[in-house]
Amino acid sequence: MRFLPAPTVPMLHTLQTLVTDLSPYLHQYGYLLLALAIAVEGFGIPAPGQALLMVSGVLAADGELALHWVLLVAAISAFGGNLVGYFLGQRGDRWLRQKGWLSAATEARLHQFIERHGIAVLLFSRFIEGLKQTMALGCGLARMPLRAFLLGNALATAVWVTLFGLGPALLWHERQPLMQFYQAHHNLTWGVGAAAVLTLALTWRWRQRRQATL
């Protein structure tokens, strides 16, 4: 059976491209680069933390890095970086208002949004570029209770590291069978994925409406 090129399996192709582009940097700087890139994202500085985590997982699958160190470094860096962002947000609201970068209306909407959605905002923002770098700051600005932030941060970190660190490590050597399966059943694959996303969206919407009526 013939394997189709990149458009057939875009995610695997993207991962292969990332491995080619980023693995030399990880070979040179190792876990330190991974830690710094992930940590600085937690307090608002854009960096290729997620891409480096995925490539680190692949290198671990090939025996070039230790998987347990990849996961541990990524988890500590993600959790710690977000915690720094949270405390910066708590202490930076006055400075942002003085600079004119945070209006009273924006701050009020931020408070309302985070109070309404709580821990869920930390979980979902971890997978959205832009929000991933700023949500911890926003939680600090909105004065989210520290206990709730720590719980949400731990949950988001665990899910994120599992998907983007452990996931590539487990699936890397199965990429050819996956590509073959996708070629044979690509309509089914997209259908199941779309159904899963729709189910999650409807469940989330139902919970929001239920909370609004309580």
Instruction: Give 167-186 pLDDT, tens digit per residue.
Output: 888 887 765 554 544 455 45
Beta strands in the chain (DSSP E): none
Residue labelled with tokens 């993600």 = 78
- Give pLDDT tens digits for 36-68: 999 999 888 889 999 999 999 999 988 999 999
C-alpha closest to that of 67 among 171, 179, 175, 176? 171
CB-count burial class (<10 Å; 0-12, 13-18, 19+) for 31: middle
Structure confidence by residue, pLDDT tens digits, 84-131: 999 988 887 666 666 555 556 666 676 677 777 677 888 888 888 888
What is residue 187's predicted lDDT score, i.e. its pLDDT? 61
SS3 19: helix
- Burial class for 84, CB neighbours closer than 10 Å (0-12, 13-18, 19+): middle
For the entire predicted model, the pTM comes to 0.71
Mean pLDDT of the chain: 77
Predicted confidence band of residue 6 (pLDDT cuts 50, 70, 90):
very low
Taking a C-beta distance cutoff of 8 angstroms, is the pair 67, 25 a contact?
no
- The residue ranges of every structural domain in the chain are 9-175
Do residues 153 and 82 make contact, with C-beta atoms less than 8 angstroms apart? yes
CB 177 within 8 A of CB 8: no
Instruction: Identify the residue with better confidence: 98 or 202.
Output: 202
